[in-house]
Amino acid sequence: MKQNTVLDEIFGGDPLPFRHVYETAQIVVRDYMSKHNCKIEVVAEQLGTTANHLYNVLDPKQTHRPLSVDRVIEITALTGDTRILDAIKASAKPSDGDHCAIHEVMIATLDVQTHTGELSKVLNAAISDGEIDDAERARLRKVATDELGALHRVIEKLN
């Protein structure tokens, strides 16, 4: 079987350059399952997918179903765990001065996504009883304000 030299050039010979991001996603899902004493089928249902699809998404060798940004956001929002975003942040190292601005925008955008996950988590907890009380409203306002601040930082990086 002939090797794909173009991909080897792009990835430096490592066909799975972001394996640690996938491994982190697997750990986050496993920890969530352990914390909530549930199986992968329950997590998949909460994410609006099937267990089989979730297995494929979390497997870095299943390149036809990669771990998408959307799925990372959904897992982060469900679990309230930002370790996947942290692993992505750790992977996004600028290679030179020209890429520094891109790197900074990526990091700032991931920060927004972290706040979005936190907002979803707080909102989910607040509406679980069917109403939002004053304390929950104040907490939601603070988390939403933090997210707006993160969005403004992205805009600043783009100026």
The predicted model scores a pTM of 0.55
Question: What pLDDT, in 10s, does the model give residues 19-37?
Answer: 888 899 999 999 999 999 9
| Distance set, CA 118 to CA 7, 85, 135, 142 (Å) | 36, 12, 16, 11
| Token pair 């993160």: residue | 150
Per-residue pLDDT, averaged over 4-16, amounts to 54
pLDDT above 90 (res 97):
no
Question: Rounded mean pLDDT of 68-75?
Answer: 88
**Using one digit for the tens of pLDDT, what is the confidence trace for 135-144?**
999 999 998 8
Res 85: pLDDT: 87
pLDDT more than 90, % of the chain: 31
The C-alpha angle with vertex 136 and arms to 114 and 38, in degrees rounded to 5, equals 60
